[in-house]
Amino acid sequence: QVQLVESGGGLVQAGGSLRLSCAASEGTFRNYDMGWFRQVPGKEREFVTTITWSVGITYYAESAKGRFTISRDNAKNTVYLQMNSLEPEDTAVYYCAAGSFNPFDLRKYAADAYWGQGTQVTVSS
């Protein structure tokens, strides 16, 4: 069974940084692409970034490029999201996902993924 536990959210001023962590259950990295989504009330969950399980290729949403970095530590079964130059528009609940990434069908990636419980990120102006 896939279990994902996020941590690292909090309150930060605009321009600041946060690092989110997602601890995955044993074996998850060998079977799933790991990613991050975010969601604000009243809106759909939005893709942020993913890292593939096989060779560690990364993909980013336009809003994340140049500011966010996804990485993973296979020994710790943990994936990280380093967020720099944060903006108030980045305020959301951030969710870790484990699934099969398809750059042409993000909805399916989200629909079929396993999810963590989410961690709140709030960026003040």
**Confidence label for 90 from pLDDT (cuts 50, 70 and 90):** very high
- The pLDDT of residue 82: 98
Cα–Cα distance measured from residue 68 to residue 71, given in angstroms and rounded to the nearest whole number: 10
For the segment 17-24, the average pLDDT, to the nearest whole number, is: 97
Residue 95's pLDDT is what? 98
pLDDT bucket at 75, cuts 50 / 70 / 90: confident
Amino acid 74: pLDDT: 84
Structure tokens given for 53: 């399980």
Taking all residues of the chain, what is their mean pLDDT, rounded to a whole number? Answer: 94
